[in-house]
A and B are shown apart, each in its own frame.
Chain A
Amino acid sequence: MDHATNIDAVRRPIHEANGLPNAHYIDPSVFDEEKHAVLFSQWAGLGVGAEVPEIGDAVPQTFLGIPLLMLRDKTGKVRVFQNTCRHRGMILVEEPRKIEGAIRCPYHSWCYSTEGRLVSTPHVGGPGQNTHDGIDRALLGLIEIRSYVWMDVVWINISGDAPKFVDANAELVAQWATFDKPLFHGGENSTFQLTLDCNWKLAVENYCESYHLPWIHPGLNSYSRLEDHYHIEVPEKYSGQGTSVYRQLKDDAGNTFPDFADIDEKWDTAAEYISVFPNVLMGVHRDHTFAIILTPEGPEKTIENIHLYYAAPKTDSNLRAQNTEQWKLIFNEDVFVVEGMQRGRHAPQFDGGRFSPAMDGPTHLFHDWVALKLQTHRNSKMVAE
């Protein structure tokens, strides 16, 4: 971009700060800058392991324009590759499917193992000649994207130079160590998708804070009041909110979901909702967790994929459906807000807005994090130039 936006005001203390300028929500060149500064350079959520439950399952994904292939290799490990043949750059896998043996490029049939090794180069040295001195298969495996699975979310670091996931997210991994155990996806009735006409950051910002709950989620507020919530703020890392009055869902007979094993008393009535920067929104409760992967599709469009998890592989299907409906209702209640804020950012004199020093701490923390990453990115570009 020719002119960097001014983000100095974002990094001021909350009582003086403004939010990110409009351009960060509507300008394609700023979207592109943030793509590198905030999404590629960090550990971003791509999908969940439950999308590739069995060995050989492969799902093509496009992440910020990059064609990727998420698959479960022959050893059961989830891997992410560029979905591109090393020969002529052809897309390898067009639709979700099971790789039974090798990944065969549909163009000239170069074949790759599920671990990414190039295992066949038919006719590369002429008809029926499958080797050539100029083609070293050992150097032409699929290009693997750094990935890590935590709480079944598949996190990727496109730039390849972020600290290890567990180091970059050490505080969060420790905070939620209780839930770092097998999570069981609720299956078909425990996943849904929302398409939002807004920048991805607005979904993060809205998720961070409890300030909006009594106005936007009055049903939720009837038992979980604003004063029952607390901020979760780890500067330059993550933010969110917690509640001290989580109430388990019950069916007509009073049955509940089983609890996660070995959780301490705090979780009898607590629940926490954290925005894992940049693009994953997560929630934990004594009996279920969820992950929302935000996929930015452009400056003003975002796809939300929501996945719910339980403590046991078999839980009551009707109760799961009821839980999904409950969350769907809540997340749908947020749609007009994030889309309204998006449209609001086309008002040229909007200055990024001000924050409630008492209530918007977690949201400001996210703005500050974005601004910090942008400053780091801009400084490294200046040095490079």
Chain B
Amino acid sequence: MKTLDRQLLEAHDANNADALVSLYTQAANHTDDIDAACFYLTHAYVFALERGDKAADALRKRLAAHGREPSHD
């Protein structure tokens, strides 16, 4: 099974925003380090925003819960 890193690189190469949203969210979910998680969530959120993905709102709320985005968009 490919590592998450490899899958992320492939998704970046392919400009596959849907995969990037999903993979960065997974990366965030697999770490207990809040700063690292927010780093990944930020990327998931940005690609979700670009894609018009409904997941953007939930991702923003997760970031806002840690003070990384304004509480209201």
Contact = CB atoms under 8 A, between A and B. Distances in A.
Interface of A: 100-104, 109, 111, 119-120, 122-123, 127-131, 137
Nearest to B70: A131
5 contacts: A100-B50, A101-B50, A103-B50, A130-B63, A131-B70
Interface of B: 35-39, 41-43, 45-53, 56, 63, 68-70, 73
A129 B48 CA distance: 18
Given A128-B42, A131-B69, A120 B35 contact: no
Contacts of B69: 130-131
A122 B47 CA distance: 11
Q: Is the interface of B mostly helix, strand, loop or mixed?
A: helix
A122 B43 contact: yes
Contacts of B45: 120, 122
A128 B38 contact: yes
Given A128-B42, A130-B42, A102 B49 contact: yes
A102 B50 contact: yes
Contacts of B49: 101-102, 104, 111, 119-120
A101 B42 contact: no
B41 to A, nearest CB: 8
A329 B56 CA distance: 52
A127 B50 contact: no
Given A100-B51, A101-B49, A104-B50, A122 B70 contact: no
B68 A104 contact: no
Contacts of A102: 49-50, 52
